[in-house]
Structure 1
Amino acid sequence: MRNFDNLEPQTRGAIHMATASLFFFLMGLMVKYCQALPISEIVFFRGVIAMVLCLVQLKVAKISPWGNSKFLLIARGLCGTGALFLFFTTLHQLPYATAITIQYLSPIFTTILTAIILKEIFYPKQIIFFILALTGIIFVKGFDLSGNLWPYLIGMLSALFSAGAYTCIRKIKETEHPLVIIFYFPLVIIPLILPLVIRDWVTPTAIQWLYLLGVGVFVQIAQYFMTRAYQLGDASVVSLPGYLGVIWASAGGYFFFDESLSLLAFFGITLVMAGVVGNTLYRRHKISQGS
């Protein structure tokens, strides 16, 4: 541990982010194993576990859970709800690596939304990376027009909702405690999803209860490591190891679910990653130049 603490903050941040990506992968693995359960039920228990953990943390820290910018906090919760529900849907309908890759479009959409809503700097050449990433999705889907497009469109909509949540967080991060921002996610999602849970209820088996617990616990651990990563280093640097999730998902899909991807799909995944990572690095370079 002493040797780890002696590493540069950027390096420690990158290691934390890589660890976060592993736990996010494990969360997705649990969701894949819960395919016999309704999506609403998985999302609901994800919210309940998050609610309990957040309330305990808020109590220990003696922080009021209600926050100041309630409109934006609720908007963050609504966007997060849409993103999670749709992402879990794609996990049930697409190969694991494909679902994860589409979700990684969220930084692209975040750049667009923050430029429009928050008036953050947008560089025209970033459009090249956007086109590259979207072209990658076309290759991942394949050129068979008779195939089902809906899971891919649902995945892209999930990424857009995630971008909406990130945009809200960007706006309120200076005025709201991180625990309050996290708390509003289960606060919104539980009452929204409860009617669907009651309507579609399926009693989980013993092993499915463990999977549901894993969904909630693994994502909380992942969020801890992700938060520490951003505290330790520059966001544009420490975020890059997070894209290891595609590798975890490709391996996990193959070994646990017998999912195999075509060379065309792997090429598409490479294009998406090149577009997303290229956009991050280019933006960082331009900002560092002060241009």
Structure 2
Amino acid sequence: MHQNHPPPLARGIALIVVSMLLFTLSDVFAKQLAQSVHAIEIAWLRCLGAVLLLAPVVAARPAVLRSAKPRLQILRGLCLLVSTTLLIAAFRTLGLAEATMLVFISPFFLTALSALVFGDRVSRAHWAAVAIGLAGVAVVVRPGFGTLSPAVALPILSSLGWAAGMICTRRIGGSDSSVTTLVWSVAVGFAAASLAVPFVFSPLDGAQAIVAAGMAATWTGAHFLIVLAYRSYPAWQLAPFSYAQVVWAVILGYAAFAELPDAMAFAGSALILAGGLLAAVHPRRFRSAGLDARASRLPNT
């Protein structure tokens, strides 16, 4: 008699780490485009590419289009579109690593929204993690010292949009599959961006079109890896490894744009990561807050 053993955790960790690499590569492409293309158009191109890549999945499984909670799916898609557009806009001014560091404040917004929207009881330890993360943001931004531009508000607001989208995810719960949620998010984002893009659209040249294709392909591929990972492993086990995106952002930011955060930015990033990891490594304590680690950090969705 054969026993079904769960796949080794190393496989799940590898899926998450590679997905974070793909998300960061997509951000590299987006940052390249952001120097000459409007953020709304870039977000639209990202969604367009994902729609084209997901079309075969929908054609093979039309049932993924059926949602038990379509209104929440629409709201979620809009929140995530706003989130990704703001982050792309930040790339015009901020370095890749700085922007990525700041979007990792999203778990702390999620904690606050979970308490406000659902009335969840959040432990003192979890609020301590939030305080540590906010202190890290303050170190990165250094308000009053003029080290970074006002554009730092963009990734922070992007994180707030992401957290709002994750609150919608929680309300959807297990009513829809992960694939259905992904398809709806992409479709809603594409539809909404299509309404705005005619006002800012500028034709792409050949090189820009190639970059846009790479951006959409890496972004969609990252989402598929995320779905594969969370199908087989508890979310809380994998959540800490999503912070690999900060490492990838530092490496690729330097390789692609010769950007290297200063010592204070690294120190602030360490505080942000410490706060997030503190929550992630105590899943039983923090699960009472209703915070699913799948929602802890994927702001590029």
**119 and 153 in structure 1: CA distance in 2 versus 1, 3 angstrom threshold:** same
SS at match of 1:93: coil
Give the alignment's TM-score, normalised by structure 2: 0.87
Matches within 5 A, 1:117-128: 117-128=117-128
| 1:198 aligns to 2:198 (yes or no) | yes
The CA deviation at 1:7 is 8.6
Aligned residue type for 1:244: A
Cα deviation per residue 1:221-248 (whole Å; 9 max; x = unaligned)? Answer: 1111111111221211112121111111
Cα deviation per residue 1:255-278 (whole Å; 9 max; x = unaligned)? Answer: 211212211111111111111111
Match of 2:293 in 1: none
Q: Which runs of 5+ in 1 are unaligned?
A: 1-5
Give the alignment's TM-score, normalised by structure 1: 0.90
| Distance in 2, Cα, partners of 1:228 & 1:183 | 15
Cα deviation per residue 1:73-106 (whole Å; 9 max; x = unaligned)? Answer: 1111111111111111122221111111111111
| Distance in 2, Cα, partners of 1:125 & 1:281 | 12
| Distance in 2, Cα, partners of 1:286 & 1:25 | 28
| Distance in 1, Cα, partners of 2:162 & 2:152 | 15
Match of 2:61 in 1: 61
| Distance in 2, Cα, partners of 1:280 & 1:75 | 27
How many pairs align? 284
Match of 1:216 in 2: 216
Q: Which runs of 5+ in 2 are unaligned?
A: 289-301
SS at match of 1:94: coil
| Distance in 1, Cα, partners of 2:283 & 2:174 | 22
**231 and 9 in structure 1: CA distance in 2 versus 1, 3 angstrom threshold:** farther
The CA deviation at 1:119 is 4.2
Match of 1:13 in 2: 12
SS at match of 1:173: helix
| Distance in 1, Cα, partners of 2:180 & 2:242 | 24
> CA-atom RMSD, angstroms?
2.2
Aligned residue type for 1:28: D
The CA deviation at 1:283 is 3.9
Match of 2:78 in 1: 78
**135 and 224 in structure 1: CA distance in 2 versus 1, 3 angstrom threshold:** same
Matches within 5 A, 1:161-240: 161-240=161-240
| Distance in 2, Cα, partners of 1:128 & 1:110 | 14
| Distance in 2, Cα, partners of 1:108 & 1:201 | 35
Match of 1:92 in 2: 92
